[in-house]
Chains A and B, each alone.
Chain A
């Protein structure tokens, strides 16, 4: 992620607290009872967190696991007999698995962060020259943390299975063997980290997650709201804005989009934003939206919900594939970009402020 920093956000949050503290402490009394625990919203918060853990996050990882298993079966058929038809046969499973990942991209904290799941599964664009040299030499280590170019995950599969001449390269009797091995290694690592994440949630993190009822840094609600903002930043930046040329004076880099080779960038973006909305609403049960209502911020909640609808519609209005729309239909991309920006501001500034959560996921330290 690029450096993203909005000083006004932090500033707004600090002023009222500072003033209030001074009034409270004017006669040098030490503050007691500022702990967020033990207040009347605890029961609600706990039910909300149980809903997130049991109905959204953990089932989301299980869905990813199932989809990856299906993908592996389809890929095995492709690898045993590379052809246009076995390749086409992989695509629906690839898209389903990638979309299943979009549904768990948001809870990148706790077990997923400890496994570096997102970093491994979806750092894009893929580092093509490194992937090719790894395949050629047979010398690569997928356990190293990804620092810049990604060797693995969905972006690598996207390139290796759907890139130009992919079928021919797989069919090559000599170099094809290494390539097949590489694809299998990538898939196995994706499955391993997904399994580890599922197991860590079940083994104890669920309990930690649902019992963290504060909103301070490192709390479950703090994580959720930070990640709502983070995903919106990622949608505005790497998923849409950067390939669209927002960081390059309007010069389009379509091949840097997520899922470029399989041409599913738009579907992934829509799946991502739908997932963000689900994490905001908590599905049909208690979520951040209800929490805002409970805090008396109903107008803000209404605004956010309305903006989700506007932004999702604007994304849907882009003609597929997104990579072609960057140059073929820039006005629709621009419109979606603007609505995403508005939603980002609402979540990162207004919702964070209303819930008393500090946004601090980014590496914004200037020193």
Chain B
């Protein structure tokens, strides 16, 4: 009951927001925006399946903290060959292991800077032989339940969070940038090119068609079509900025607008999506760079810093004209490339505070 009440409050406020922003008099749309992403002829399997592959691949990499990983398996999963996905790592996803293994698509072809991210993944595989030996400054190994490199970084976090930019942002923005010049001839048999690209972009977001920002997707039984990748972070670290509701609404609105050839609404939706997907990654990075200051347990601290590192990698793929300048971004990377042991040894957390401040300066308040 309480959740429903909250949802109503949130939706009410969102409506107020949109009515205030249109100062040119009321628009009377001749189409309705459905409450779920329920449109005819949606085919975005490739995008949704790649997010499932992301989940399977990164889940497998995480196993490196408790067992030695095989480098052949890394190649197979990355290129989706040799029926590499298994029930263990891809058993409860929108596209499960058996479906993924029969597809001809892979992560390898759609990730920006694929060589770099594959190298991070290979590094995790290489370090996994040390899953049972303790880490120390300059020595890779285990701290608590985390496997870290010589400077304290969990490579699997660099991959998992980095790909939210290199896979998700990169493809979503590429598709949305193409949409305005796409053909939008509406026929009854198939979606237009514009609709098709829009649907693919939505697929990369990783939320279900009936996404509900108030629903707790981690309650057992965990649904297979739960929010994944950036979609998961709408709920995990993007609540304060209301990212999930805004992005989901923008996707539904934009898709309906395309059907009615209402391009100004579509373009507004594009800018909302760009703004809040990027801001979600910024909010997550900000959270981890501040939480790490409170954590005195090195396992917790290094995990937070690794997440922060991954999200900063992801922000490389932010849209042109981002609020985060190139100079600010360079400084963020510099800070996170400091050995984590050194960051931990600074009682004042000077560098981490500076990093957090860069985020606040660029984006405004990101967390409560």
**A interface, CB within 8 angstroms of B:** 1, 7, 13-15, 17-19, 21-23, 25-28, 30-31, 34, 108-116, 118-119, 141, 144-145, 147-148, 200, 204-205, 208, 216-218, 222-223, 226, 358, 360-363, 365-367
Contact = CB atoms under 8 A, between A and B. Distances in A.
B134 A147 contact: yes
Interface stretch (B92-100, B192-200, B299-307): B299-307
Contact of A217 (B10, B62, B290): B290
Given A145-B136, A367-B160, A208 B348 contact: yes
Nearest to A223: B294
Given A113-B347, A114-B345, 14 more contacts: A13-B368, A109-B294, A116-B296, A145-B137, A145-B143, A217-B291, A218-B352, A226-B294, A358-B368, A361-B295, A362-B300, A363-B144, A363-B297, A363-B300
Contacts of A27: 16-17, 20-21
B279 interface: no
Interface of B: 6, 9-10, 13-14, 16-17, 20-21, 62, 134-137, 141-145, 160, 216, 218, 232, 239-240, 242, 290-291, 293-300, 303-304, 307, 344-349, 352-353, 356, 364-365, 367-368
A21 B364 CA distance: 13
A205 B348 contact: yes
6 contacts: A18-B10, A30-B364, A109-B296, A113-B344, A217-B291, A361-B294
Contact of B303 (A7, A18, A23, A363): A363
Nearest to B62: A367
Contacts of A17: 240, 368
B296 A108 contact: yes
A186 to B, nearest CB: 18
A222 B13 CA distance: 30
Contacts of B353: 218
A21 B134 contact: no
A144 B295 contact: no
A113 B368 contact: no
A81 B366 CA distance: 62
B239 A145 contact: no
Among B6, B17, B137, B293, which residue has the most Cβ atoms of chain A within 10 A? Answer: B293
Contacts of A204: 348
A22 B346 CA distance: 37
Task: Name the residue in A28, A30, A205, A365 with the highest tally of chain B Cβ atoms < 10 Å from its Cβ.
Answer: A365
Contacts of B17: 22, 25-28
B184 to A, nearest CB: 29
Nearest to A16: B368
Q: Which residue among B62, B160, B297, B304 has the maximum number of chain A CB atoms within 10 Å of its CB?
A: B297
Contacts of A28: 17, 20-21
Sorted from nearest, which 4 A-B pairs have the closest CB atoms? A363-B300, A22-B13, A218-B293, A217-B290
Given A26-B16, A109-B294, A361 B300 contact: yes
Contacts of B352: 218
A123 B137 CA distance: 19
A218 B343 CA distance: 14
Contacts of B300: 361-363
Nearest to B142: A147
A223 B232 CA distance: 28
B298 A119 contact: yes
Nearest to A359: B294
Contacts of B10: 18-19, 22
A31 B21 contact: no
A35 B6 CA distance: 26
Interface core residue of A141, A145, A361, A362 (most chain B CB under 10 Å): A145
A122 to B, nearest CB: 12
Contacts of A115: 345
A218 B293 CA distance: 6
Nearest to A200: B347
B156 to A, nearest CB: 10
A238 to B, nearest CB: 13
Contacts of A118: 296
A114 B346 contact: yes
A358 B307 CA distance: 19
B356 to A, nearest CB: 7
Contacts of A14: 239-240, 368
A200 to B, nearest CB: 5
A278 B143 CA distance: 32
B239 A18 contact: yes
B353 to A, nearest CB: 7
Contacts of B346: 114
Contact of A113 (B16, B160, B296, B303): B296
